[in-house]
């Protein structure tokens, strides 16, 4: 009996000294584990002399219950203490607003591309996509530029390891693809896409840029239709106040050929630098489809005529927002991109 009293006292003192949960669990194993002292005391009931057995048994069971309750109480105290400690160490301010989720947006070039689609869709144009990797034949020869034609100098490009396979220098080879697919039906399409040129990068010229080609083929298509279409497009995209200038030019695949400029915003301090002092920036080349090209596309130039244009998407976007450097488009600087 005195052993039981000692056991109870010792267990209680040790329990009071347990200040962390791990120590408490070790205490529990020591007294209540398979070989624990409390279980040993209970097992010993059978070997106690008969006359003391009842009192011993009652006492052993009472100690078991007292210590179990004391253990549970101590565990609850330690858990609460640990919770309070973690709350004060890492205070959680539930009133703090959550971090805003970053929202993506369309690149400014894509936004303008979609505006261009919508302007031409209203004029009855369909979008036709063609390849970026072209053969020399379609990029040059079928557009009336045989090998060694001096006009090829205007469009130096990147070559693949397969001879005659290049990255297209303009969207004009798409004219051949769409004509061959649609012939002899009339055509009214735009062909958007990436172009590549091996040339010096400047504030107005990149080695990679997007163009939107236009092609209209029909029985009585005239230069007046081309002029009307381009002017209507420019008014819709830039507003009534901006000016459109049409100059005569030369392309091997159109005859006659023109180039189209838009006036740079007058109040922009970079106007002189970007327009080389002229006040204008060129946005496209255009003209009446050359009879050789019509024939290469399968159309009889006696019965059909057509116009084509190829505009630079980055130049158009620069003009719209007075962007002073074309390199911003692929620079991936979020400070630039977030403005649109
Ligand atoms: C052409 O590419 C002709 N294929 C356009 C054409 C199509 C003429 C159909 C007649 C009929 P050009 O090289 O001028 O032409 O380019 C057309 C437009 O693309 C330019 O006006 C300009 O807006 C844009 N552009 C040309 N080179 C670059 C460049 N390096 N960086 C950015 N934009 C460019």
Instruction: Dump pLDDT digits (tens) for 110-155.
Output: 999 999 999 999 999 999 999 999 999 999 999 999 988 888 877 8
CB 176 within 8 A of CB 142: yes
Tell me the best of 251, 257, 328 to mutate to test the pocket of ligand 1, counting ligand atoms within 8 Å of each CB and taking the most.
251
C-alpha pair distances (Å), 22 with each of 18, 19, 29, 67, 75: 8, 9, 11, 17, 10
Q: Give the model's pLDDT for residue 225.
A: 98
Q: How many Cβ atoms from other residues are within 10 Å of residue 40's Cβ?
A: 13
pLDDT digit string (tens) for 2-38? 788 899 999 999 999 999 988 999 999 999 999 999 9
Q: How far is the CA of 198 from the centre of ligand 1 (A)?
A: 13
What secondary structure does DSSP assign to 120-159, as a single string? HHHTT-EE----SEEEHHHHTGGGT--TT-GGGGG----B
d(CA 235, CA 229): 10
Closest CA to 145 of 300, 290, 339: 290
Which residue's alpha carbon is nearest to atom 30 within ligand 1? 205
In terms of pTM, does the model score above 0.85?
Answer: no
Atom 12 (ligand 1) nearest CA: 285
- Of the pLDDT bands very low, low, confident and very high (cuts 50, 70, 90), residue 1 is low
Report the distance separating Cα 256 and Cα 145, nearest Å. Answer: 16
pLDDT in tens, 251-304: 999 999 999 999 998 888 988 888 999 999 999 999 999 999 999 999 999 999
234, two tokens: 């420019």
Instruction: Please give the structure tokens belonging to residue 215.
Output: 């092609």
- What pLDDT was estimated at residue 89? 82
Give Cα 302 to chain centroid, integer Å. 48
Q: How far is CA 99 from CA 102, 103, 338, in A?
A: 9, 12, 19
């Amino acid at each position: 009996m005195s052993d039981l009293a000692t056991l109870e006292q010792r267990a209680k003192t040790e329990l009071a000294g347990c200040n962390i949960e791990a120590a408490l669990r070790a205490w529990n194993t020591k007294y209540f584990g398979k070989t624990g002292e409390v279980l040993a005391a209970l097992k010993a009931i059978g070997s106690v002399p008969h006359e003391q057995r009842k009192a011993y048994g009652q006492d052993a069971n009472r100690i078991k219950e007292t210590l179990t309750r004391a253990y549970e109480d101590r565990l609850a105290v330690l858990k609460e203490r640990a919770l309070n400690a973690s709350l004060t160490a890492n205070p959680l301010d539930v009133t703090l607003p959550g971090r805003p989720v970053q929202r993506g947006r369309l690149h400014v070039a894509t936004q303008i591309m979609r505006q261009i689609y919508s302007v031409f869709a209203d004029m009855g144009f369909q979008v036709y996509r063609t390849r970026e990797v072209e053969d020399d034949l379609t990029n040059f020869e079928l557009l009336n530029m045989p090998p060694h034609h001096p006009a090829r100098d205007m469009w130096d490009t990147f070559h693949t390891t397969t001879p005659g396979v290049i990255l297209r220098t303009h969207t004009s080879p798409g004219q051949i693809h769409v004509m061959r697919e649609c012939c002899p039906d009339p055509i009214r399409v735009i062909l958007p896409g990436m172009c590549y040129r091996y040339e010096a990068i400047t504030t107005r010229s990149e080695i990679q840029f997007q163009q939107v080609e236009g092609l209209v083929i029909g029985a009585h298509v005239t230069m007046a239709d081309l002029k009307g279409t381009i002017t209507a497009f420019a008014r819709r995209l830039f507003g009534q106040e901006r000016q459109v200038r049409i100059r005569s030019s030369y392309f091997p695949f159109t005859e006659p050929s023109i180039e189209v400029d838009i006036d740079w915003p007058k109040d922009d301090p970079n106007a002189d630098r970007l327009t080389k002092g002229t006040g204008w920036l060129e946005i496209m080349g255009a003209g009446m489809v050359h009879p050789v090209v019509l024939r290469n596309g399968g159309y009889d130039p006696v019965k059909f005529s057509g116009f084509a244009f190829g505009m630079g998407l980055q130049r158009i976007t620069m003009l719209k927002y007075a962007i002073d450097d074309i390199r911003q488009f692929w620079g991936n600087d979020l400070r630039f991109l977030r403005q649109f």
